[in-house]
């Protein structure tokens, strides 16, 4: 079999948490001085120990010392060091090591850290290389993290064992830590990475769905595109599910922007809040967004271009959330969240929202707003 798993440990991830520093960027020294013991290495070891079942078939490719070699050895795995840095590890180290591991085409890249680490990894490896996060940070808004370190291990084992190596697109989110320390919470969407799809959501013995999330997203997009009214303006938000719709329409848009379409044609690319208000003045518009997996935000995270005024004007009945059934289930029954910061638009968004979850298939899902 000869499996190669890449590993990056951000040794200082999470140290800000216990001393309420809300993050660790730039404050690690302060936290360590307060006596916080770094946990990321131990969490990585916990996840890695699941990989022992592959025995000599598996090698961990990583950096020296606390960058990964220590954690791999503690888990009893053989490892190969491809990057040496005597220091404690920095964003630089994460990025360089991630790039190297991608060039070596390891089977899966595991990293232990938080949202900041996820961003550094995402920027280095792009959105199609398989990456899985071992939760070890203070903030973990990104969908790339497994729920616990041992869940990360189990998921990695399953992924490495399957032939199809199916991945799904996961959001990489981060808060600006300086803002956060001053009490503002506004995570934004930084991009997407590919991450193992949890087969738990797929495997039922009685009914086997051959369709993974990617196929479902295509079905959703086909359904949305076929139902488009020629005169109406469609404002399509960022996200991997909405991106499939944008790709089916004409014009150069991006996965991270809010774009406007009329008659299947891009009319406004990377629109700002004021541009959207201007475009929709006196016209029929529909908003298509997706929800953040596991969290449920549909407005106010990575799509602040949809302003409170716009939401009031367009109305909840003209909002469609595009989400696969497994994405809805990842919310574990929690409602969607519209973080509007304005009472009137919050009232407008409170209630049931239409979800397009397959071909000619909808769900009604509760939304709470504040």
Partner 1 sequence: MNQVMHNISLSRFTNGRANLRRYHQARWDEPVIFELSQRGERGVLVPELEQEIAVATNQALSGLPHGMLRTQAPRLPEMSQNRVLRHYLRLSQQTLGADLNVDVGQGTCTMKYNPKINEQLARDPRMSELHPLQDADTVQGMLHIFHQVHALMMEVSGMDAVSLQARSGSQAIYGNFAVLRAYQEASGTYGVRDEVITTIFSHPSDAACARLLGYRVITLYPDADGYPDLDALRTALSPRTAALIITNPEDTGIFNKKIRQFTDMVRAAGGVNIYDQANANGLLGITRAREAGFDMCHFNLHKTFATPHACGGPAVGAMCVTQELERFLPSPKVVLREGSYAIDDAGPDSVGKVSAFMGTGSIVLRAYAWAMNLGAKGLREVSEIAVLNNNYMMHELLKIPGLSAPYAPGKRRIEQVRYSWEKLHADTGIHSEQIGIRAADFGVHYWTSHHPFLVPEPATIEPTESYSQADLDEFVDVMRHIAHEAYTNPETIRSAPHNCPVHAVDASVLDDPKRWAITWRGYQRKLRSQEAKQSA
CB-nearer residue toward partner 1: 164 or 182: 164
What CA–CA distances, in Å, run from 53 to 15, 76, 98, 153?
31, 11, 25, 11
| Locus of tokens 């809010």 | 258
Q: How far is the CB of 154 from partner 1 (least distance, A)?
A: 5
Residues that bind partner 1 (CB under 8 A): 50, 53, 148, 150-151, 153-154, 161-164, 166, 200-210, 212, 325-326, 328-329, 332-333, 351-352, 357-366
Residues 289, 319: Cα–Cα separation, whole Å: 8
For residue 298, give the 3-state DSSP assignment: strand
CB-nearer residue toward partner 1: 160 or 340: 160
Q: How far is the CB of 240 from partner 1 (least distance, A)?
A: 18
CB-nearer residue toward partner 1: 147 or 178: 147
Q: How far is the CB of 224 from partner 1 (least distance, A)?
A: 13
Q: How far is the CB of 43 from partner 1 (least distance, A)?
A: 15
Considering just the CA atoms, what is the radius of gyration of the chain in Å?
21
Q: For the chain, how far is it from start to end, CA to CA, in angstroms?
A: 51
Kindly state the DSSP code that residue 245 receives in the 8-state scheme.
H
For residue 83, what are the β-bridge partners?
63
Q: What are phi and psi of 128, to 5 degrees?
A: -125, -5
Please list, residue by residue across 93-131, b when 16 or more beta carbons sit within 10 angstroms of its beta carbon and e when fewer do. bbbbbbebbbeeebbbbbbbbbbbbbbbbbbbbebebbb
Q: How far is the CB of 24 from partner 1 (least distance, A)?
A: 26
Residues 287, 205: Cα–Cα separation, whole Å: 37
CB-nearer residue toward partner 1: 139 or 316: 316
Per the rule left: phi > 0, alpha: psi between -120 and 50, beta: everything else, 22 is left
Q: Yes or no: say if 160 and 77 are a contact pair by the CB < 8 Å rule.
A: no
Q: How far is the CB of 199 from partner 1 (least distance, A)?
A: 8
CB-nearer residue toward partner 1: 275 or 363: 363
Q: How far is the CB of 328 from partner 1 (least distance, A)?
A: 8
CB-nearer residue toward partner 1: 250 or 360: 360
CB-nearer residue toward partner 1: 188 or 352: 352
């Amino acid at each position: 079999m000869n499996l190669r798993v890449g590993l990056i440990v951000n040794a200082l991830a999470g140290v800000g948490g216990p001393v309420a520093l809300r993050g660790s960027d730039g404050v690690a020294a302060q936290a360590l001085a307060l006596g916080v013991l770094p946990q990321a290495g131990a969490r990585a070891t916990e996840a890695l120990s699941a990989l022992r079942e592959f025995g000599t078939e598996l090698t961990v490719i990583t950096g020296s010392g606390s960058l990964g070699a220590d954690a791999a050895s503690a888990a009893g795995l053989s490892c190969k060091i491809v990057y040496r840095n005597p220091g404690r590890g920095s964003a630089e180290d994460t990025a360089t090591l991630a790039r190297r591991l991608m060039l070596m085409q390891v089977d899966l890249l595991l990293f232990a850290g938080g949202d900041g680490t996820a961003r550094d990894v995402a920027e280095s490896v792009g959105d199609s290389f398989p990456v899985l996060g071992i939760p070890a940070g203070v903030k973990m808004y990104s969908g790339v993290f497994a729920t616990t370190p041992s869940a990360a291990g189990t998921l990695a084992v399953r992924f490495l064992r399957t032939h199809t190596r199916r991945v799904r697109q996961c959001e990489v989110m981060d808060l600006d830590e300086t803002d956060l320390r001053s009490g503002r919470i506004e995570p934004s969407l930084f991009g997407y990475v590919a991450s193992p799809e949890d087969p738990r959501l797929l495997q039922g013995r009685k009914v086997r769905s051959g369709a993974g999330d990617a196929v479902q997203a295509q079905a959703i997009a086909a359904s949305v595109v076929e139902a488009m009214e020629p005169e109406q303006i469609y404002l399509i938000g960022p996200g991997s599910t909405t991106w499939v719709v944008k790709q089916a329409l004409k014009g150069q848009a991006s996965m991270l922007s809010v774009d406007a379409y009329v008659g299947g044609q891009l009319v406004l690319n990377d629109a700002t809040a004021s541009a959207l208000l201007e475009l929709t003045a006196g016209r029929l518009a529909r908003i298509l967004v997706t929800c953040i997996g596991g969290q449920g935000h549909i407005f106010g995270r990575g799509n602040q271009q949809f302003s409170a005024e716009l939401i009031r004007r367009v109305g909840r009945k003209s909002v469609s959330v595009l989400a696969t059934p497994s994405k809805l289930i990842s919310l574990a029954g929690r409602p969607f969240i519209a973080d509007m910061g304005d009472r009137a638009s919050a009232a407008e968004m409170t209630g049931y929202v239409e979800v397009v979850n397959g071909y000619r298939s909808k769900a009604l899902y509760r939304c709470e707003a504040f």
